[in-house]
Amino acid sequence: MLALFFWVGCQAQANDDTTTDGRATEPAPETFVLWYRNYDSPAIRSLVQLALDKTPEYGPYTLRRSEELSQGRALLELASGRSRLVDIANVATSKEREAELTAIPIPIDGGLLGFRVCVVKADHLPRFRGIQTLAQLRDSGIRIGQGSHWPDTTILRESGLTVITHTRYEILLTMLRNDRFDCFARGISEVTHDLRLAADPNLVIEPNLLIAYPMPSYLFVGPRDTLTAHRLQLGLERAIEDGSFGTYLDHFYGQAVARLNLEQRRLIVLDNPLLSEESQYVSRETFDNLRRRLDLLVPER
């Protein structure tokens, strides 16, 4: 269910515990478990910490790395609410995810996830030369690798592209190295971090293509975890209001986006049939702004 909590002013429940001599005790920090792929991303972990730091009235907290669960398993755990294996996850949104979970409907990277470049093997770069249209990309026979549970898989297939999938991100990198597919399409907000972790000189970013579709990336919590949803929503909106969200975008994505030379790439735009009405509105404004100025790292005033 999409959480539209705009400035709800929800206050954390006061802790009434006192010592035997009447002095108030410090509340114990609440532990939040962040999906491991998000925790290992300095940008996403920092944004969750920013939102939590902006809401001190909810009390102290600690942020912990989850077990290494696939994306599909992590979202199932969130939806079930039967365990605390995962409390918070950042993934691309879809109608299904918004129906089963609680979304905080602020694109965490300013909408950059929907702009995709290809990670390829260096010796496969010649295969991409001359491609300028969706039809040419279809006809080239280029196979795109994506996660089995990622909304991108459906978007790309609906556009007539060949998609090879696996449930684990790490296995997808191995499949790329083994020629199981030709292009690992990654968001411009994540690709430089991915390659830094991979540390493989044979994997490079294809320099000419930019595949784009509306794809907001939200923080999600369980369907009944309204207190955490309120806290994250309020924290992010405070960060937008005081400018620290813009500083965050510039710090984590500014240089990385600039190095990709987006304005010089051939833009191939795809439809996204998976968005809810609310996310269509959010993504339409963000996507149009990004198309007009691909360096959307200073908030509109």
pLDDT of residue 82: 81
> Of residues 215 and 4, which shows the higher confidence score?
215
N residues, the chain: 301
May I ask the CATH architecture of the domain 112-212?
3-Layer(aba) Sandwich (3.40)
pLDDT of residue 284: 62
Q: pLDDT by residue (tens digit) across 126-147?
A: 999 999 999 999 999 999 999 9
Share of the chain above pLDDT 90, in %: 64
pLDDT band at 4 (very low <50, low <70, confident <90, very high): very low
Cα→Cα distances 279→21, 106, 107, Å: 52, 9, 10
Q: Which residues pair with 267 in a beta bridge?
A: 210
Query: What is the average pLDDT across 55-62?
Result: 97
In this structure, are residues 231 and 52 in contact, taking their beta carbons and an 8 Å threshold? yes
pLDDT of residue 279: 74
pLDDT of residue 1: 45
Q: What does the DSSP assignment read for 98-163?
A: HHHSEEE-S-TTTTGGGEEEEEEEGGGGGGGTT--SHHHHHHTT-EEEEETT-HHHHHHHHTT-EE
Query: What is the average pLDDT across 65-86?
Result: 93
d(CA 38, CA 90): 7
Q: pLDDT by residue (tens digit) across 175-204?
A: 999 999 999 999 998 899 899 989 999 999
pLDDT of residue 35: 97
pLDDT of residue 13: 39
d(CA 103, CA 247): 23
| Strand intervals (E) in the chain | 30-34, 61-65, 89-92, 102-104, 115-121, 143-147, 162-166, 183-187, 203-205, 209-212, 217-221, 266-269
pLDDT of residue 290: 57
pLDDT of residue 287: 60
User: 266 pLDDT exceeds 50?
Assistant: yes
> Of residues 114 and 101, which shows the higher confidence score?
101
Sign of CA dihedral 248, 253, 255, 257: negative
Element holding 244 (H helix, E strand): helix 244-249
d(CA 279, CA 96): 12
**Residue type present at position 85:** L
d(CA 2, CA 276): 9
pLDDT band at 45 (very low <50, low <70, confident <90, very high): very high
> Of residues 273 and 40, which shows the higher confidence score?
40
For the chain, domain boundaries = 112-212
In this structure, are residues 164 and 143 in contact, taking their beta carbons and an 8 Å threshold? yes
